[in-house]
Amino acid sequence: MFIAAVRRISCAAGLAAGLLLFAAVLAVCHLVVVRYVLGDSAIWQHEFVTYSLIGATFLGSPYVLLTRGHVNVDLLPIYLGGRARLALALVAAVLGVVFCGLIAWLGAGLWHEAWAGDWHADTVWSPPLWIPYIAMPLGMALVVLQYAADLAAVLTGRESAFGITSGTHEGT
């Protein structure tokens, strides 16, 4: 149940990331029309696109982990035997939890400072900075959850370590 719930959350975060990317594309199109067709100045579009892309990156991270869409080198896990592969998967997941947990913790502190201090960007648009800053701790906390779900799936035998099911290359 935990694994399925986390997967749904990761998929929802991936959908949110996709919507942020789509909104960024629309903002760029709006920028082009306003600036080059109508000859007006663009005030908010650059910042919105930047914040949207950063938010999409952090919020999309758990979905990327879920789908194993990140760039990795799987040569070592392919050639390791079952127990060594499992041990490597556990070490990698624990290190991922520690690293992402630390980023989430530090990001939460930064978000809280921006929220409590009513920080705003030093631009004409001047959006409150707590809005884009929330993406880092939220996204990294969701990655920690996805790592925990991946660990649970491997430890309960629902999935194999690194998603490698065949025994080819073991012991060679």
- Quick one: pLDDT at residue 34? 94
128 bridge partner residues = 120
- Note the pLDDT of residue 71: 73
Q: Which residues pair with 120 in a beta bridge?
A: 128
Residue 128 is classified by DSSP as B
pLDDT at 111: 98
Closest CA to 120 of 111, 110, 130: 130
Q: Is the pTM of the predicted complex or chain greater than 0.85?
A: yes
What is the model's pLDDT at position 43? 87
Q: For residue 171, what pLDDT is reported?
A: 47
Q: Quick one: tokens of 112? A: 């809280």
- Mapped onto helix, strand or coil, the DSSP state of residue 75 is helix
Mean pLDDT per 10-residue segment, the chain (172 residues): 96 98 97 93 92 97 93 81 89 95 98 98 94 97 97 90 68 46
pLDDT at position 7, please? 97
C-alpha 69: how far from chain center: 11
pLDDT at residue 165, rounded to an integer: 76
